[in-house]
Amino acid sequence: MNRNYTMPSKLKKAAKVCDERGFSLIELLVAVSILALVAVALLDGQTQAITITGKLEERSLASVVAENRLNLALGLVEPPAPGVRSGREQQLGMTFEWRETVRPAPGNDLTIIEIIVASPDNRQTDLARLVGFRKAP
């Protein structure tokens, strides 16, 4: 193989002209298309992250409501009467519906206190559920 190969002068001039022209329109369109696809994928990821963060915040606040209700029932001097009670509570501007069920445990030594918290918009899905036990009166 000849290591001293030199490019013919016509090819040198053609290569020099191509280098000075910059990008062609097709190259520019391909680059912009790739950029647009990447941007759409990033925006979709951001949208999912925002949705998940909102749901996580709602579940966390529902957990606080459930803990508050259970601590209230466990901290009373007199144990709560058996039955079902319900109500609404707000946390950071969000409204939650809670349901408290009190029933005797098998053996009648303990009382079971169950708290279920749901969103007023979707009562079929429980956002938080806690169960506590208290010595029966």
Taken in order of first residue, the domains within the chain and their CATH numbers are 22-135 (3.30.1300.30)
Distance CA 2, CA 31 (A): 38
The model scores a pTM over 0.85 = no
Q: Which tokens in the block code for residue 57?
A: 């915040």
Q: The sheet that has 110-119: what strands, in order across it?
A: 83-91, 94-104, 110-119, 122-135
pLDDT tens column, 46-101? 999 999 999 999 999 999 999 999 999 988 888 888 999 999 999 999 999 999 99
